[in-house]
Each structure stands twice: as structure tokens, then as C-alpha cells.
Amino acid sequence: DRLPALLRAMPKAELHMHIEGSLEPELIFALAQRNAVSIPYASVEDLRRAYAFTNLQSFLDIYYAGASVLLKEQDFYDMAWAYLERAAADNVIHCEMFFDPQTHTARGVDVKVVIDGLHRACVDAKAKLGVSAALILCFLRHLSEQEAFETLEQALPYRDKFIGIGLDSSEVGHPPEKFAKVFARCRELGFHLVAHAGEEGPPAYVWSALDVLKVERIDHGVQSSKDPALMKRLAQDKIPLTVCPLSNLKLCVFPDLSKHNLGALLDAGLVATVNSDDPAYFGGYMNENFTQTFAATGLTSQQAWQLAANSFNGSFIDASAKKAYV
Ligand code: ES4
Ligand code: ZN
């Protein structure tokens, strides 16, 4: 069977990954030591044992604890560089990375430190790995819209170093419309807009991400298959869905990879893509997401090609560059 080799070898874009979710336990411990930050885990093995999640919130609690070791510009660089090298090994040639400034500013880390370190890794990735990489700033939806406005204000001096705005963290109880005003402002400022919706939350959240926030892509969106009218809308408007199969498995969104609806989304004509979300926590980078999902669901080589094409078509690289890829 040559399908796994094709999946690994094909050039692809990653459109949904949180850079803080690429922190491997080994790097968490190295940075904890370097920065003299104490973490409530005795060893790498002890930390890895805590990676048994039951839902999104059980993951987020550990993810925010892991990010607490990041203090200096070099820490952010080292984290992003490690991810970009790993992505290049999976034949990822373009990547749009989420970052969560509020996770760091809440600990007294200046947003400039965060953005400068991440952006420097993106610049080096192009020069040294041939990977184009761009940053998307995410607001934490469990915090207030006022706090999102403050974060935007703090980041605007560095606006040339990120291309878009996203919305992540605890979904249920924090619908997209909570952030209507700040997304409207980001739209005026000319940023690309995306939002997590329909990971655990209902189809109504996908509708409001589209119609209230006016996002260009939906992150996850797998709950959309519960609403036929929404499926029709997503197909007609060619709204990309950045699907993360191993994330969905580890956070118990689907009981088993064989039950994942990626095939159904593609069959409905949606621009679905495969992504790693938080690869250090969910047990796999891009190629693991592809090979495990294909092995479990019986997707075909035709669908592999479609997913790779979707990843470039759904990306924010400019239209003329897209033509070279698909
Ligand atoms: C996330 Cl899987 C997921 N969902 C929502 N927010 C997140 N932040 C990091 N990973
Ligand atoms: Zn995510």
C-alpha cells in the first residue's frame, strides 16, 4: 500500500496549529530550568502521563500550565523553530500559526517579546527551511471582549508581523457574537479573520462566526454536519474548515478515528483540510494526522490530493502564488 508514502511525501499547508501546543515536554522542562520557573510535574514522563484528556477544558488546563515556562524572546523563537523544523520534515511548505498573547501578557510578558520571537523564527524558516510561515493572533474567548480590545491595542505596533485574527480557548458558553465589536474593528484594520467554531459547540456558533464575525475560515467546524442548511452554506461559499482529526480523537469529539466525519465533509463538497492543532499534546504532527486518519477511515488517494489542494486554496497566501501549488 503506497498511500501512506503519498500522504507523507505530498507538499501540504498547515492552517490550524497553536504554536504553544507544539511545546514538547522535553522543551517545557528545558525552558523551566533555563528560566527558573517551577512546574507542578516531577519529570517529562510525569507530565506526559497527565495528557489523558476527556474534553477541551481538561486539555486547556494543562496547555496553559505548559506555556508558563515561556518568558524571553528566545523562548518563543526556540519553540517556533522546533515546530517549523518538524513541520518541514512532514513536507509542510506553508504554515499559518496561531498564538495566544493573553496567555503570556497575563504573566507579565510583553506582547513585543512574544511576537518578535515567533516572527524571527518565521523569517528563518523561509531562509533556512524553505517553509513560508505566518502568524495569526488569537483572542481567548473565555476572557472578555474588553480584554480582547486591549490585546489588539498592545499588538498593533507590530501589525506587520501577523496576518490575521482568530478566536480560541473554551468554546461552549462563549459564542462568537461575544466578540462582534472587536472582530468588526479587526476587519476594518484589514486582517484576515478566522474563529474556532463547532469543535464542541453547536452549529449555531458556526453560523454566528460566519454571519456576525464574518470569518473567512472555520477552525474545526466538524459539528456542522448536524445542520444540512449550514453544510450547504459552507459548500456554496467555499468556506474552508480546518479539521484536526487527532485533536478530535484525543478530546473525545469522536469516539474513534473510524467515526470521524472528514470523509462526509469532503463528500458534501466542503473545502476541508487536515491539521495538527496542538501536536505535542495530541500525539502527532501533520503526517501522523494524515496517515492515521486515512488508515482508520479508508479515504482514497484522490481525497489525499483534494486535501492537499484544499490546504493551499484555503490558505492566506496570495492568489497568484496559490496557482503554483494547486
Ligand atoms: C485549542 Cl483544540 C483547541 N480548541 C480551542 N482552543 C485551543 N487552544 C489551543 N488548542
Ligand atoms: Zn485549535
All 3 cell numbers of residue 15? 492552517
pLDDT-derived band at 42 (thresholds 50, 70, 90) equals very high
Residue 260 annotated as binding? no
Percent above pLDDT 70 for the chain = 100
Cβ neighbour number for residue 27 with a 10 Å cutoff: 20
Tell me the best of 51, 59, 200, 282 to mutate to test the pocket of ligand 1, counting ligand atoms within 8 Å of each CB and taking the most.
59
- Examine residue 251 and state whether it is found in any structural domain, yes or no: yes
Provide the β-strand partners of residue 195.
Answer: 218
DSSP annotation of 211 reads I
Per-residue pLDDT at 305 exceeds 90: yes
Q: Identify the pLDDT of residue 325.
A: 77
In this structure, is the dihedral angle defined by the CA atoms of residues 94, 301, 298 and 313, taken in order, positive or negative? positive
Contact 69, 32 (CB under 8 A): yes
- The grid coordinates listed for 92 are 509542510
Q: Is the CB of 199 under 6 A from ligand 1?
A: yes
Residue 319 lies in a domain: no
Residue 326 lies inside a defined structural domain of this protein = no
Q: Is residue 64 part of a domain?
A: yes
Q: What pTM, to 2 d.p., does this model score?
A: 0.98
Mean model confidence pLDDT for the chain: 97
Q: Tell the residue nearest (CA) to atom 8 of ligand 1.
A: 169
Residue 29's pLDDT band, with cuts at 50, 70 and 90, is very high
List helix spans (H) across the chain. 3-9, 25-35, 44-49, 56-66, 73-89, 101-105, 111-129, 145-155, 180-188, 203-208, 228-236, 245-250, 262-267, 279-282, 286-297, 301-313, 319-325
Q: Any long-range contacts for 263-268 (C-beta under 8 Å, 24+ apart)?
A: 263/297, 263/298, 263/299, 263/303, 264/225, 265/222, 265/224, 265/225, 265/241, 266/299, 266/303, 266/306, 266/307, 268/225, 268/231, 268/235
Q: How many CB atoms lie within 10 A of CB 287?
A: 21
Could you tell me if 182 and 139 are in contact, meaning their C-beta atoms sit under 8 angstroms apart? yes
Query: Residue 133: beta bridge partners?
Result: 95
Domain-located, residue 155: yes
* C-alpha 170 to ligand 1 mean position (Å): 7
Position 320 confidence tier, pLDDT thresholds 50, 70, 90? confident
C-alpha cell read off for 180: 462582534
pLDDT tens per residue, range 128-170: 999 999 999 999 999 999 999 999 999 999 999 999 999 999 9
Taken in order 185, 99, 134, 306, the sign of the CA dihedral is negative
Residues above pLDDT 90, as percent of the chain: 97
Q: Is residue 239 part of a domain?
A: yes
Q: What is the rounded CA–CA span in Å between residue 273 and residue 266?
A: 9
CB-proximal residues (5 Å) to ion ligand 2: 277
Number of residues assigned to the chain: 326
Spatial strand order of the sheet with 12-18 comes to: 12-18, 92-99, 132-140, 164-168, 192-197, 217-220, 241-243, 272-274
Instruction: Determine whether the annotation assigns residue 196 to a binding site.
Output: yes
Helix 25-35 × helix 73-89 angle, to 10°: 160
Contact 56 CB / ligand 1 (< 6 Å)? yes
Question: Is position 301 within any domain?
Answer: yes
Number of domains in the chain: 1
The answer to whether residue 199 is catalytic is: yes
Exposure pattern of 40-72 as b/e (b: 16+ CB <10 Å)?
A: ebeeeeebeebbebeebeebbebbbebbbbbbe
**Ligand 1 pocket residue status of 219, Cβ below 6 Å:** no
Q: Kindly state if the Cβ of 168 falls inside 6 Å of ligand 1.
A: yes
In a domain, 324, yes or no: no
Q: Tell me the C-alpha distance between 204 and 174, whole Å.
A: 12
Contact present, 142 and 101 (Cβ < 8 Å) = no
CATH number at residue 57: 3.20.20.140
pLDDT at site 11: 98
Containing domain of residue 158, as a range?
3-314
